[in-house]
Amino acid sequence: MSSVSWIVTTTPQVSGLVGMAKDAGLPVEAVVVGERATAEAVAASGVDTVRWVELGDSTPAEAASTLVADLAESEQPRLVLGGTSSEVKALLGAVAARTGAELLPAVASVEAEDAGLRITRALFGGIAESNEVWSSPVVALADAGSAVQPSGEAAQITAVEGETLPITVVERAVAPQEHVDLGAAKRIVAVGRGVKAREDLALAQELADALGAEVACSRPLAEGVDWFAKDRYVGVSGAHVAPELYIALGISGQLQHMSGMKGAHTVVAVNTDKDAPVFTQSDFGVVGDLYQVVPALTAALKG
C-alpha cells in the first residue's frame, strides 16, 4: 500500500474531494477519465499530479474501468476518492474489487491519525453516523463538490496508455418524466408494498381524485419495482412532506419512510397488520385490507 490518495473523476467538479484528500494528509493524485479539458481543469485544482485516460467521443467512462483498476492494482493507493455519479461509481467499484479495498459510501470526512484514517460517513440515509479508523486501503464515495478556481501552478498531466473496454454509446434517450412537488401538496395518498400489482394503483388514484390529493409512495415502489418516478417517494432519502392529510395505504411505517412525512397534520393508516409501526404515528388507523377499505372510502367520499 502506497502513501498517496487518488481522486477519480470524469468532471472538473472536485473541490470536495481535493479538500478531503488534503485532510487525509496524503499527496493527491488525480485520475481523470474523459476529455483533455477536464484533465487540465483538474490539474489546476490543487492536486499534485494528474493521470489522464482519454476516451473517444462515443465511449462511456465505464469503458476505462479495467484500465483504472489495473493502475490501482499496480500502485496500491492508500485512499481512493470519487463522487457519486454512476460513471464514477462504476470506476471505483472496479478499483475496490481489484485491490480488495473497502468501498465506503456517503463519506463525509477523512482525517489522518497515527492508527490510520478516521472516516466519518452517513448511515441509513443520514439518520445515523459511523466514525471508524481504517488502517487498510479504502475506496470512498463522497460529495465531489464544485469546480475549483485555478490557482498556483497546474500539476503535470500524464496520459495513461492502454486498452479500454469495447463499449460504444449508440444512442442517448432521456426518459420522459412528469414532475410533482409533493412538498407543496395539501393532501397525499401514499401507497406501499401492501399494493400487490401495478394495476391496483388505480385504487389509490381514485381515492386521491376523490380527495383532490397527490399520490405518493414508499421507496420500494419507486426504486424497487419502478411503479413511480423517484420524486414520488416519501422519506429520509425521498420527498419531505407536510400535508394537512396523509393517508398511508399498505405502508409498514419504517423510520426511513416516516421521517419524510412527520410534518403531516393528520395521518390515516390502512394496514392488515395491527402491529405495523405506522399505527404508532397515525391519528386514525384502519386494521384491514386496503383492497376492501380503499374502494369503500372512495365510494363514501363520492357519495
Ligand X SMILES: Cc1cc2nc3c(=O)[nH]c(=O)nc-3n(C[C@H](O)[C@H](O)[C@H](O)COP(=O)(O)OP(=O)(O)OC[C@H]3O[C@@H](n4cnc5c(N)ncnc54)[C@H](O)[C@@H]3O)c2cc1C
The residues binding ligand X (CB under 6 A) are: 124-125, 192-194, 218-220, 233-238, 250-252, 254, 256-257, 260, 270-273, 276, 289-291
Closer to ligand X at the Cβ: 73 or 273? Answer: 273
Cα dist. 72→9, 54, 69, 113, 289 in Å?
14, 17, 5, 23, 54
Q: How far is the CB of 86 from ligand X (least distance, A)?
A: 18
Residues pairing with 269 in the sheet: 248, 285
Q: How far is the CB of 301 from ligand X (least distance, A)?
A: 19
Q: Hey, how many other C-beta atoms are within 10 angstroms of the C-beta on 176?
A: 6
Closer to ligand X at the Cβ: 103 or 236? Answer: 236
C-alpha to C-alpha distance for 111 and 131, rounded to whole angstroms: 11
Closer to ligand X at the Cβ: 134 or 233? Answer: 233
Closer to ligand X at the Cβ: 43 or 258? Answer: 258
Closer to ligand X at the Cβ: 172 or 274? Answer: 274
* Continuous H helices in the chain: 15-23, 36-43, 65-75, 86-99, 201-211, 219, 255-258, 290-302
Q: How far is the CB of 133 from ligand X (least distance, A)?
A: 23
Strand order through the sheet with 266-271: 214-217, 187-191, 245-249, 266-271, 284-287
Contact present, 228 and 212 (Cβ < 8 Å) = no
Q: How far is the CB of 200 from ligand X (least distance, A)?
A: 9
Residue whose beta carbon is closest to ligand X:
235
Q: How far is the CB of 161 from ligand X (least distance, A)?
A: 40
302: which 3 cell numbers?
363520492
Closer to ligand X at the Cβ: 61 or 268? Answer: 268
Contact present, 95 and 70 (Cβ < 8 Å) = no
Phi, psi at residue 258, to the nearest 5°? Answer: -65, -30
Q: How far is the CB of 241 from ligand X (least distance, A)?
A: 11
